[in-house]
Amino acid sequence: MILEGLHHISLGCSDLKKSVAFYRDTLDFEVMEESGRYALIRLDPISIRLNHIEGYRCPVTNPGEASLSFVLDVDDFTDALQELETRKVELLKGPVMIEGGEAVLIADPDGNLIELFYTE
């Protein structure tokens, strides 16, 4: 088998418009496609397909099981913390010291876990 690459990551969501707004407005994803059942969003080179699932709530509570992890520059990390506070996005964990930097854990509107971190 010869894979040509990763096309997208799929995530469930209960409210497609709310999830698209979160990823677009908070994490700066670009909306590539949208229908009533799914949206394909992109933060180059990552694409995520948000799939509408009635009543969906992410069952994962341990980021070691499954999470999206995004790296930031140290200065952007500080700005991101302020933006999360302004947007009233709850920090589930952190900031905590990690090897060479700091990390925070947040969740999207359906509880899909997202780590934001920097290393120096």
> Minimal CA–CA distance to 98: which of 72, 62, 59?
72
Per-residue pLDDT of the chain (120 residues; tens, 9 = 90+): 999 998 999 999 999 999 999 999 999 999 999 999 999 999 989 999 999 999 999 999 999 999 999 999 998 999 999 999 999 999 999 999 998 899 999 999 999 999 999 998
Indicate the residue among 34, 56, 78 that finishes a domain. Answer: 56
Number of domains the chain is built from: 2
CATH code assigned at 23: 3.10.180.10
Question: 75 and 48 in one domain?
Answer: no
Cα–Cα–Cα angle for 112, 68, 77, nearest 5°?
A: 110
Taking the mean position of all CA atoms in its chain, how far away is CA 118? 15
CB 38 within 8 A of CB 20: no
Report the distance separating Cα 102 and Cα 51, nearest Å. 31
Indicate the residue among 56, 81, 102 that finishes a domain. Answer: 56
Question: 50 and 67 in one domain?
Answer: no
Question: 118 and 62 in one domain?
Answer: yes
Global confidence as pTM: 0.92
CB 96 within 8 A of CB 50: no
